[in-house]
């Protein structure tokens, strides 16, 4: 039964990724079917690692919308960047005790990635939730 539910959720995620291609293609970015499967696997692994459950298509479409026009992303690094940022999303979500709303965290990650990190996901990974929050807050001001 759990497999059936996971299959339903995975299907919803893949559908959402296909739809996201319509947006990202405007910026020259698109995901292949294989990359979509890899992102779905990465999503499942990140959720398992952080002890979380996700409903519906999840956060990946929002991450795509936030990062597909980044100056630090190209066709080659696009999927790997999404995989890494997706993992960071769930990490910070849990580490912050769910203090960030989804949209806030996506925005914070986008600002960190396109700002001080200059496209280095390792830099973003080195931030504390508080630093990420301050980054998001300062930008708000």
Partner 1 sequence: MDEQRAPEAQGKRGSQSVQSEPDASGALSLLMEGLSGAERALLQERLWALLARQVARFTQGDATSLPVERAETLYESACFTLRCWLDAERLPPRALLRGDLDDALRAGWTLLEGRVREAKTRYAEALRGAPPYASRALRDTLRGIAPFFARYDWRLAAQEIPAEIDYPLCHPVPEAYRGVQYVGEYLRRLLIEELLLARASAPRAEALLRRYYGEIEEPLVNLYEPVAACAIGLALAGQDPRALTITPEDAAALTARLNGLAAEEEQVGSVAATLRAAAETAADALALPMGEDRLYLAEWAESLWPRARASLRGGTMENGALDGDAAGSDALRGVFAF
Question: Which residues contribute to the site for partner 1 (CB under 8 A)?
Answer: 1, 4-5, 8, 47, 51-59, 90, 93-94, 96-103, 129-130, 133
**Smallest gap, in angstroms, from Cβ of residue 71 to partner 1?**
28
Shortest Cβ 120–partner 1 spacing (Å): 25
- For 47-54, the CB contacts below 8 A with 24+ separation are 47/90, 49/87, 49/90, 50/90, 50/91, 50/93, 50/94, 51/94, 52/90, 52/93, 52/94, 54/9
- Residue among 88, 81, 3, 91 nearest 38 (CA): 81
Closest approach of Cβ 118 to partner 1, in Å?
Answer: 26
Decide whether 5 or 41 has the Cβ nearer to partner 1: 5
Closer residue to partner 1 (CB): 57 or 67:
57
Q: Write down the residue that tokens 């398992």 correspond to.
A: 48
Nearer to partner 1, 54 or 65 (CB): 54
């Amino acid at each position: 039964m759990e497999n059936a539910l996971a299959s339903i959720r995975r299907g919803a995620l893949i559908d959402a990724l296909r739809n996201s291609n319509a947006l990202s293609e405007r910026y020259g970015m698109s995901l292949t079917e294989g990359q979509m499967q890899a992102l779905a696997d990465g999503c499942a692994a990140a959720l398992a690692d952080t002890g979380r459950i996700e409903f519906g298509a999840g956060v990946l479409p929002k991450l795509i919308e936030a990062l597909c026009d980044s100056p630090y992303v190209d066709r080659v690094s696009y999927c790997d960047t999404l995989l890494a940022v997706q993992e960071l999303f769930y990490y910070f979500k849990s580490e912050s005790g769910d203090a960030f709303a989804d949209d806030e965290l996506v925005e914070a990650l986008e600002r960190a990635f396109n700002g001080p990190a200059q496209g280095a996901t390792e830099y973003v990974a080195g931030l504390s939730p508080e630093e990420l929050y301050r980054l998001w807050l300062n930008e708000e001001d």
